[in-house]
Amino acid sequence: MSKKKEPNHPEPVTAKGGLPPTQLPLSNNALVVLARRYLRKDDHGNVIETPEDMFRRVAKAIAQPDINYRKDADIERLAEDFYDLMTSKRFMPNSPTLMNAGRELGQLSACFVLPIEDSIESIFEAVKHTAMIHKSGGGTGFSFSRIRPEGDRVKSTHGVASGPISFMTIFDVATETIKQGGTRRGANMGILRIDHPDIEKFIRAKTETDRLNNFNLSVAITEKFMDAVEQGEDFSLINPRTGKEVRRLSSIKVFNEIVESAWGSGEPGIIFIDRINRSNPTPLLGEIESTNPCGEQPLLAHESCNLGSINLGLFVKEGKIDFPALKETVWQAVHFLDNVIDANRFPLDEIREKTLQTRKIGLGVMGFADMLIRLGVPYNSQEAISIAEEVMAFIDTESKRASAELAKIRGNFPAYEGSIYDRPDTPFMRNATTTTIAPTGTISIIAGASSGIEPLFAVSYIRRVLDGTELVEAHPLFVRAMKEAGTYSDELMERIASVGSVQKIDEVPEKLKQIFITSMDVSPEDHIAIQAAFQRHTDNAVSKTINFPESATIEDVKKAYLLAWRQGLKGLTIYRYGSRPVQVLNLKPEKVKPQSAAQVGSNGKISPRPRPPMTRGVTQRVRTGCGNLYVTINWDEQDICEVFAQMGKAGGCAACQIEAESRLVSLALRSGIRLQSIIKQLSGIRCPSPSWQEGRQILSCPDAIAQVLSSVGNIEIKREEPAVMGCPECGGVLEPEEGCLLCRSCGFSKCD
């Protein structure tokens, strides 16, 4: 297929504040996100497209395939309908479609799964294909379960295998070097079956290495394993090369290892692989072994999927759900997503062939929390669960009806024969799947909607911009409700912003406290109940984060995992806020003496005492989100006198900044500054890649230095709960979303 060259735009388009001009009802946050990631730019990085231009571009490109099925198709009218569908914010397709439709790249899918066999040829072919997909704007999922375990024999070389974990690092490094289409950085899902001999090493992979930062990890758990857990029995580990048992382990011990790792770091997640395959719509094409990076889209090898989401918050009319309007939007969205498959320029021929066989689409939702607020229903209530079931059952049913109508004109998906639809009561079906609940990320920012099926992350929060200014931002429905109640004030908004939740704010009316629920106000059991309600009426899987407070125990997480299995979920991702720090050094110096007096010059200025010729100290390795940080604390006969820190193999700006931090801390120590004051300044500084070590959260390199200093000085670090992370680009709040971190102010994402 020949590629069209994009037309040149005469000059950049900018408006007040540097944002693109628009007549559409878009928030400033939406305009920032669009300008940063979606709108066309010239060779100098200047935006040369308005939001209207973008939606027109996408609508025209996605309407065009209709001509393949009806020669009299009114493409202009359909393009206008699709334009209205998006600009009304009732529906948004996944990000690659908004970015690339009608442009030269033309890659419109968000998620792919690539096969990995037990050979060097297959592994490095997959690495090459991963690079091509990431360059085109997609994310990739893999199962490493077919790779022989570490230490197994290699017949061709008479050597021993290095195992799946070592090969995962190759994919990780490849991902790190590729920028997707200039706008997105690649994300990966790495999966290993529970019965693989290297499963314990896989469970610990994110806590024992400074790599795999471009991976979300999930264990593929079988029903047989879960039965063994419930019975307290051992289970077999199977060598994938031979198919034979190599040893047996305690199922409870391994399950506890998964839980403990998830409690400490949020990973690995779990997917119930047998449950996923029971709902595999095309079993004759093979078993499903992996999902996309966020876990909600199980796919066969070389399949891709096109996702989109309906904004539920816009379908409340006079206090009730507007089902007729919702039906119309569902049918339009199914038509849109089926056309995306035909308009798509796939990165690989194998992906095109497999995708066209099944024509899977994934219609999901966003704005569920907004819908509940407008209905006056608490998120953590039985009524919310009933609404979730009712709405998703309606969407699932109508999406199947819309797909069947398309099939009458366009034909069934080619793999229909032998599929779950191949029966007299469903003679027509255009798409093997129609529904998926995906994390909506930046498209929910564009739509001005709450994310996916999540509760609000914060009712109000403080955004710290680069010049030091603090801006209070609040949910518009809450602001309106408070004004109507006569209790609104700027001072009150600032108080709420300091904690995010309204539950302990006396001035907020009780009725509003019940409705404006945040993620940390909802118990894990209620989170799971909502996820299960949506899962019961969703073809694929459901993306949701189960939030835990810092004080949650390992047993709390274990109960959630067991509850997820019993509730029929296909997978689970948890997020526990950072634990209180624990003592990390086994070796401790003698009791630290009070800081010595600083030297004062003739001009009255303080100068540091000289560095002593000989010091002694300890070095602690701390795992940060950027890699292993080695922190050395030295002291002499007077006191702690210096700090050195080095980041693994880091160079450039990272190494310079860490060295600067170390020098300034050392200078402060020898100038008589109290250790507590230094720790207070460094502690709590956040970067977009926090990590966990031994049950405590490491927020950044400065925070890691503070934690080592606190351990040496036996000084407790006190943090407010929850530990809200700030966006490194705009100062907004980073929200946890399926193993990623998203800023709803500017669209920054840890996974992009």
Cβ–Cβ < 8 Å for 383, 312: no
| Residue 412 φ/ψ, nearest 5 degrees | -70, 160
Q: Which residues contact 287 (CB under 8 A, 6 or more apart)?
A: 277, 280
Q: How far apart, in whole angstroms, are the C-alpha atoms of residue 752 and residue 742?
A: 9
CA-CA-CA-CA torsion sign (279, 285, 287, 289): negative
Residue 550 structure tokens: 């810092």
Cβ–Cβ < 8 Å for 168, 205: yes
DSSP assignment of 95-161 equals HHHHHHTTSSS----SEEE----SSHHHHHHHHHHHHHHHHHT-EEEEE-TTSPPTT-EETTTTEE-
Cβ–Cβ < 8 Å for 496, 460: yes
Residue 276 structure tokens: 């996923």
Q: How far apart, in whole angstroms, are the C-alpha atoms of residue 474 and residue 491?
A: 13
Measuring CA to CA, which residue among 170, 168, 169, 101 is closest to residue 136? 101
Q: Count the neighbouring beta carbons within 10 Å of the beta carbon of residue 119.
A: 13
Measuring CA to CA, which residue among 735, 375, 391 is closest to residue 577? 735
Cβ–Cβ < 8 Å for 176, 132: no
Residues belonging to the chain: 752
Going from the C-alpha of 700 to that of each of 266, 546, 622, 705, the distances in angstroms are 17, 24, 10, 9
Q: Left (φ > 0), alpha (ψ -120 to 50) or beta: where does 128 sit?
A: alpha
Segment (H or E) for 220: strand 215-221
CA angle, 233 then 234 then 239, to 5°: 150
Q: How far apart, in whole angstroms, are the C-alpha atoms of residue 244 and residue 236?
A: 9
**Residue in the block written with tokens 């409690």:** 263
Q: How far apart, in whole angstroms, are the C-alpha atoms of residue 300 and residue 437?
A: 18
Cβ–Cβ < 8 Å for 307, 94: yes
Cβ–Cβ < 8 Å for 269, 572: yes
Cβ–Cβ < 8 Å for 337, 435: no
Number of helices (H), then strands (E), in the chain: 23, 32
Catalytic residues: 292, 294, 296
Q: Which residues contact 580 (CB under 8 A, 6 or more apart)?
A: 550, 696, 717, 719
**Residue in the block written with tokens 């050392």:** 666
Q: Count the neighbouring beta carbons within 10 Å of the beta carbon of residue 398.
A: 21
DSSP conformation class of 38:
I
| CA atoms within 13 A of residue 293's CA, in its CB half-sphere | 25
Cβ–Cβ < 8 Å for 129, 114: yes
Helix, strand, coil % over all residues of the chain, rounded to 5: 40, 20, 40
Q: Count the neighbouring beta carbons within 10 Å of the beta carbon of residue 509.
A: 14
Q: Count the neighbouring beta carbons within 10 Å of the beta carbon of residue 365.
A: 28
Q: Count the neighbouring beta carbons within 10 Å of the beta carbon of residue 94.
A: 26
